[in-house]
Every structure is written in C-alpha cells, then in structure tokens.
Amino acid sequence: MVENLVDAGRIGPTALVLVDNAPGARERDLLLNPKFPDFLARELLPLLRKNYGIVSAPERTVVAGSSFGAVAAAYAALRYPRRFGNVLAQSGSFSMVPPLGKDAPPTLMQQFAHAPLLPIRFYLDAGTREGFVLPGSTTSLLESVRHLRDVLEAKGYPVKYAEFEGGHDYACWRGTLAEGLVRLIGG
C-alpha cells in the first residue's frame, strides 16, 4: 500500500515500521503506559536512525495505530511532540483508562485539554458500527473518537476526521490507513 502511494505520487518516499506488543500485553502496553512512547522515542527512533539512516523531521513522522494502538499513538505524540508530529488514529478507545482505580491517569481527552497546544496534526477515524461500550469505558468507541476530535479542535489542533461504514476491524482500517497517510504527509 505504501509503495503504491509513493509510486502514484500521493506521498513522498516513506519508511514504514511496524511495532507489535508482547503476547497478552496489549492493554498493559498501549493504554497510557509511558514506557511504550518512551521506547518509541528514546530507543526505536535512534535505532532506526543509526542502523537504517532513517531521518525524518517531526512534521513528516507519523505515529499510527488502531484500537488501543490508536490510544498509544496519540499518547506518544502528546509525550513527544518534537518527534511525532502526526497522529493517525483508527478506531481509538480514547475514553479507556488502565484499570488502576484511583491511581488511573486522566483520559487522553483530559490530557490534551489541559496541555498547551503542541505542533501535532491528527487524522482520526471510526466506524459507524462502533457504537459499543467497552468494559471500563463510559462512552461508545465511536463517541470517544468524536469526543477527542472535539477536544482537539477546540484547542486549535489541525484534525481530519472521518467515519467509515463498518465496524472495528482491519478490513475497514486498511483503506483508511492510506487515506490518513495521504492527509498527513501527502502532497
């Protein structure tokens, strides 16, 4: 997909790096865990620069994810806006917080609302059939994405928001991933 976008002139030359989480650790790794964005910014990016010569300015660097990965992507940009200038978040469970009780951090919406405006652009999307409420959440997934969009726009962030006809699945995200890349780093 990325090669097709580059060949069609829709985005410039782009390296795509995929990061998986440990088996059974998706929630622990991706739900507002500072260790994950620390790893991306302090270990992975320097490794890519050193071993592969990948150098990119923050305005050309996209951190992306779907579902809990979308939460981790937005959180990484919030923590490291000088490294990740673009967030591509697909069907993020943004109203989720880790099951820490009183010690749970504020939601991502609250963190962005209270932080100063940062040099980050966003592409957010969700499916029209993502109206379910996850355990530990107070709103549907679709409503949480809309809420984050509203918070970001109110703060003055550039946000492209899209809804697709579909649910919480990779078949839907495949198409919106390309759209998000074009919107964030195309042209």
**pTM of the entire predicted model:** 0.93
Q: How far from 13 is each of 42, 54, 177, CA to CA, in Å?
A: 24, 11, 16
Ranking 80-84, 108-112, 134-138, 177-181 by mean pLDDT, the lowest is 134-138
* Helix (H) or strand (E) run with residue 144 in it: helix 141-155
pLDDT, tens digit (0-9, with 9 covering 90-100), for 32-85: 899 999 999 999 999 999 999 887 799 999 999 999 999 999 999 999 999 999
Domain residue limits at 85: 2-185
Q: Structural domain tally of the chain?
A: 1
CATH classification at residue 145: 3.40.50.1820
Q: What is the total residue count of the chain?
A: 187
